[in-house]
Amino acid sequence: MRDDLRYMRRAVSLARKGVGRTAPNPAVGCVIVRDGQIVGEGWHKQAGTPHAEVLALAQAGELARGADLYVTLEPCCHHGKTPPCTEAIIAAGVSRVVAGMTDPFPQVAGRGLQALRQAGITVESGLLEQQCRELNKGFIKCVTTGLPYVIYKSAMTLDGAIATVTGQSRWISCEVSRRLVHRLRAACDAVMVGVDTILADNPQLNVRHVRGRDPLRVVVDSRLRTPESFNVLQGGLAKKTLLATCERDEALHARYIAQGAQVLACRAFDGRVAMPDLLTKLAERGVQTILLEGGSRLAGDMLQHGLIDECIFFYAPKVVGNGFAPFAISGITSMDDAYRLKLLKVAMSGDDMVVYARPELACSLV
């Protein structure tokens, strides 16, 4: 059992290399062991490329015959952009498969493990399952609910302000925390802000302080007020910027599209983009994880409708007095009516304290 844990931990470590790169596929790691030695390793790098099991089998070659295969997710058993991994595993002569979790994708959902058992392979499942589920929380939520996994990030002073009374917010958090946020961006399929944040800060919303790919930039802009001269619509940044709107003016759409941006028309609710409709449309485009970075009105709307799965609060050792709160929510006059969160972890990031929490209203299945 100790060796099983060691090899599955290695598979999890390999799978992490693909986090944020594989959507709409899951991130998967695989290790093949024979006579106590690792003879093959692989991790899924991008949708449409070979899966982790196939790469590990190719590295192992004939040494895969009679070996144990450790994989973070149940091997696929259907034809997609690549052939079924179960067929490759059976053909290679693997004698035992240990999977971290079953695949919730309807075309798999236990059928992959069943196919391996029917071929005479010893199959075990559930080793380090929580770690394996954490790797693919976006994939799991998308295939089970049709919605992306949303992580809300906010940098605040100790008295709970995300900006001064004048709207100035640079910089609340320390440099170490800013690097952590950029790692979060690189690990997510999209970063989302409201148009008020664009107008106030003119951010780039790309990955700069660490190595990693830029996520899709989603600006929730109900009336298309984003200035065409702003950063998210300039040069290469525009190509990965999507403006979500309920504005139907096609000529206005065309101006943004001419700059290289995407415009996504959504249903309206109270004159603003209906967020469930937007999230559904993003999931259909392969967006599985979203880093929500503000502003307060958008964050408040998402929290009230149970659309935030996880919160990461960066608290800087500063006090500004009057300022802006992270969630614009009105009507709460009693603590009995407050939105409750479950604390997951508290850590330090440079001089800042980081609080990880999950709203109790969230519909996360991870």
As annotated, the active-site residues are 53
* Torsion angle in degrees (nearest 10) through CA of 73, 216, 146, 98: 0
Angle at Cα 99 formed by Cα 94 and Cα 103, nearest 5°?
A: 120
- Give the residue among 350, 366, 223, 219 at the shortest CA–CA distance from 282: 219
Q: Do the strands 37-43 and 68-71 form a parallel or antiparallel pair, or are they unpaired?
A: unpaired
- The DSSP symbol for 192 reads E
Rounded CA separation 12/312 (Å):
23
Token pair listed for 61: 């070659």
Rounded CA separation 101/148 (Å):
20
Angle at Cα 136 formed by Cα 132 and Cα 139, nearest 5°?
A: 145
Q: Cα Rg for the chain, rounded, in angstroms?
A: 22
Angle at Cα 164 formed by Cα 161 and Cα 165, nearest 5°?
A: 110
Check: CB of residue 245 under 8 Å from CB of residue 264.
yes
Rounded CA separation 332/246 (Å):
29
Check: CB of residue 328 under 8 Å from CB of residue 300.
yes
Question: Where does residue 108 fall: left (phi above 0), alpha (psi -120 to 50 degrees), or beta otherwise?
Answer: alpha
